[in-house]
């Protein structure tokens, strides 16, 4: 390795460390993603850690949530991220998880580019800085290496495909299932790698048993690690909330619009931030190929570009209403989200970025423009740092407001297991994080019978508002106390002027489920009509919320 390359690698590591520094310095005062993060996963890890059911049986339940959330809904105990949150304070665990994911992402993409895509030493800088850019993408935190680990896995698979026998390949394939999700990334990745093996076979490259067995090996490992998911999906006979998930609703014109939206802007769970810098590079490289007739030489680039667009098209068409007859006949098309093949796009987009820069460097006179695009993308990704992009949201400390909820707990003065609570205007994950037993929750897998029972509490509110009715009835992952006046808004800060004036809850149904207290982030003006009594209002300087504590009469 040349000294210059070593220096670049050192600088890249320093930049990743700088990117992560706010999490380490600010701790609970840091701003991080709320959606599918603070409002769910982080609270789930804490609930699981404190439940005593880390190694619970596949039929075990966690009574703190919905009077008995299936243990299987909170994932496998063989995931490293679960143990990070079990062993360390929340924000230290979050920092460590981010660091692991980003450094593995960097090395995976760097090794993949250097070994299989851009081999020439004079283009080392492209490999290093594209790998750095890939590592700085604002990925979904609880996805871990589900997308960011794909370059490392592809590097290992391509090595094995080329009949390389290094132990490093198998170490990578063995460790990745412990820090990634099968259904949130690697199911689709392994399907794509399996397709590559089949293409090799059809093109006369032979069976390549070692390559095939490596794919089977990693798949089996995922089945073992995620045995709870396998058990729930294949062997559970009890109907669950996913049985009423309905996705095929969009007309053709909206599907076409969604195709281009996804192609240009990406998706929240696999954000690539590619529209402003990378997409122009891809289009400029395609123009160079077209003008100079480089189709054969740059085959890898344009094939990746085509796959990129096909994946966006597939994602959008998954929601096309024309699927409806098939979803009725084949229930798995509703319960399993096959649209997630687009989770392959971060890998494909950044491979295309590297190849596009190489094409430009070869065929344009103004070489520094390649460096400009690399620097511009890294600066852009820094602008998407959590501390910047989420600065208007509550900090972690403000969001979970532990002191505030401890005050509520002390005021109620009863063991938390003796009563149930629910929330209005804030996420139930906040109550769960603070140890309360909640009737409401955000989970994608819970008994369908519970959904129907909970629905009785809010049936009058759902009847008033088609938007929340469709959201609850045809998905139901957010089992919340929805109201017509608030709609799908769950974060009313303590300075909010919002009030509930026409609330219609079935308080009897709430009480029958064990409900005794409501935590409302806004005042309920017609509380008496709902048989609710305001007990006390709670707030403090470190909390984002003002909680109106109502007791069911």
**Percent of the chain surpassing pLDDT 70:** 98
Q: Which two tokens stand for residue 300?
A: 């890898």
Query: At residue 351, does pLDDT exceed 70?
Result: yes
Q: What is the structure's pLDDT at 332?
A: 65
Q: Is residue 281 part of a domain?
A: no
Q: Is residue 165 part of a domain?
A: yes
Q: Give the Cα separation of 427 and 479 in Å (integer).
A: 10
Measured CA to CA, the distance from residue 27 to residue 38 in angstroms comes to: 14
Q: Which long-range contacts (CB under 8 A, 24 or more apart) does 198-207 make?
A: 200/161
Q: How many CB atoms lie within 10 A of CB 538?
A: 20
**203-256: pLDDT as tens digits:** 998 899 999 999 999 999 999 999 998 888 778 778 888 777 777 778 889 989
Among the three residues 180, 207, 236, which one is the final residue of a domain in this structure? 236
- Distance between CA atoms of 30 and 106, rounded to whole angstroms? 24
Q: Which helix (H) or strand (E) holds 306?
A: helix 299-317
The answer to whether residue 9 is domain-embedded is no
* Domain stop point among 202, 236, 270: 236
Mean of all residue pLDDT scores within the chain: 93
Helical segments of 203-242, H only: 209-225, 227-234
Average pLDDT in the 75-103 region? 96
pLDDT at 331 over 70: no
Q: Please say if the pLDDT value at position 444 is more than 90.
A: no
Whole-number pLDDT of residue 334:
64
Give the pLDDT confidence score for residue 329 in this predicted structure.
Answer: 72
**Which pLDDT value is given to residue 239?**
82
Residue 1's pLDDT is 42
| Average pLDDT rounded to a whole number, residues 422-445 | 96
| pLDDT tens track for 515-539 | 999 999 999 999 999 999 999 999 9
Q: What domain count does the chain have?
A: 2
* Least confident segment among 81-85, 114-118, 232-236, 311-315: 232-236
pLDDT band for position 340 (50/70/90)?
Answer: confident
For position 245, what pLDDT does the model report?
77
161 lies in which domain range?
A: 145-236
- Can you read off the two tokens belonging to residue 315? 């994602």
Q: How confident is the model at residue 194 (pLDDT cuts 50, 70, 90)?
A: very high
- Predicted confidence at residue 333, as pLDDT, reads 63
- The answer to whether residue 191 is domain-embedded is yes
Mean pLDDT of 26-37: 96
Mean pLDDT, rounded, for 272-290: 96
| Amino acid 473: pLDDT | 92
CB 90 within 8 A of CB 46: yes
Is residue 96 a contact partner of residue 88, using CB atoms and an 8 Å limit?
yes
Rounded Cα distance between 74 and 96, Å, is 20
Which of 236, 258, 281 lies at the terminal end of a domain, its last residue? 236
Is 207 inside a domain boundary?
yes
pLDDT of res. 243: 74
Q: Is 483 helix (H, G, I), strand (E, B) or coil?
A: coil
**231 is a domain residue:** yes
- Residue-wise pLDDT for 75-86, tens only, equals 899 999 999 999
pTM across the whole model = 0.94
In a domain, 439, yes or no: yes
Is residue 482 assigned to a domain?
Answer: yes
Identify which has the larger pLDDT, 158 or 335.
158
H or E, element range at 7? helix 3-26
Residue 388 has pLDDT above 90, yes or no: yes
Quote the DSSP letter at residue 149.
T
Helix (H) or strand (E) holding 272: none
């Amino acid at each position: 390795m040349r000294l210059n390359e070593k220096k670049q690698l050192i600088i890249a590591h320093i930049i990743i460390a700088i990117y992560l520094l706010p999490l380490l310095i600010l701790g609970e005062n840091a701003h991080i993603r709320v959606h599918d993060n603070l409002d769910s996963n982080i609270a789930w890890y804490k609930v699981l850690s404190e439940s005593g059911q880390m190694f619970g049986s596949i039929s075990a339940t966690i009574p703190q949530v919905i009077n008995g959330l299936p243990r299987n809904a909170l994932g496998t105990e063989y995931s490293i991220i679960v143990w990070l949150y079990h062993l360390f304070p929340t924000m230290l665990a979050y920092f460590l998880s981010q660091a692991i994911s980003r450094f593995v992402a960097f090395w995976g993409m760097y090794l993949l580019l250097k070994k299989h895509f851009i081999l020439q030493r004079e283009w080392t800088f492209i490999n290093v800085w594209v790998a750095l850019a890939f590592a700085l993408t604002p990925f979904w935190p609880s996805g871990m290496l589900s997308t960011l680990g794909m370059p490392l896995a592809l590097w290992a698979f391509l090595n094995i495909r080329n009949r390389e026998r290094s132990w490093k390949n198998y170490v990578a394939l063995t460790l990745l299932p412990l820090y990634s999700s099968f259904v949130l990334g690697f199911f689709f990745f392994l399907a794509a790698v399996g397709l590559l093996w089949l293409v090799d076979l059809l093109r006369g490259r032979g069976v390549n048993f070692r390559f095939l067995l490596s794919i089977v090996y990693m798949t089996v490992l995922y089945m073992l690690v995620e045995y709870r998911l396998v058990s729930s999906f294949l062997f559970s006979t009890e109907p669950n909330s996913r049985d009423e998930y309905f996705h095929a609703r969009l007309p053709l014109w909206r599907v076409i619009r969604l195709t281009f939206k996804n192609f240009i802007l990406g998706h929240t769970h696999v954000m690539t931030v590619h529209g402003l810098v990378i997409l122009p590079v891809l289009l400029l490289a395609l123009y160079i190929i077209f003008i100079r007739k480089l189709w054969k030489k740059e085959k890898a680039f344009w094939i990746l570009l085509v796959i990129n667009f096909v994946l966006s098209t597939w994602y959008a068409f998954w929601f096309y209403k024309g699927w409806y007859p098939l979803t009725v006949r084949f229930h798995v098309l509703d319960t399993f989200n096959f649209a997630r093949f687009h989770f392959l796009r971060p890998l494909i987009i950044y491979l295309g970025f590297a190849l596009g820069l190489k094409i430009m460097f070869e065929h344009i006179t103004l070489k520094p423009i390649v460096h400009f695009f690399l620097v511009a993308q890294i600066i852009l990704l820094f602008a998407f740092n959590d501390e910047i992009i989420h600065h208007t949201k509550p900090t972690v400390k403000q969001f979970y407001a532990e002191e505030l909820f401890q005050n509520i707990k002390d005021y109620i003065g009863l063991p938390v297991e003796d009563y149930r609570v629910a929330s209005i205007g804030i996420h139930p994950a906040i109550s769960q994080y603070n140890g309360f037993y909640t009737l409401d929750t955000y989970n994608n897998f819970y008994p369908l019978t519970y959904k129907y029972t909970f629905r009785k509490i809010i049936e009058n509110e759902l009847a008033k508002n088609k938007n929340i009715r469709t959201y609850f009835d045809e998905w139901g992952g957010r089992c919340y106390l929805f109201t017509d006046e608030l709609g799908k808004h769950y974060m009313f800060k303590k300075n909010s002027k919002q009030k509930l004036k026409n609330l219609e809850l079935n308080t009897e149904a709430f009480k029958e489920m064990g409900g005794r207290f409501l935590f409302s982030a806004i005042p309920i003006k017609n509380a008496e009509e709902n048989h609710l009594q305001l007990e006390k209002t709670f707030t403090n300087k470190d909390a984002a919320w003002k909680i109106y504590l109502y007791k069911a009469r």
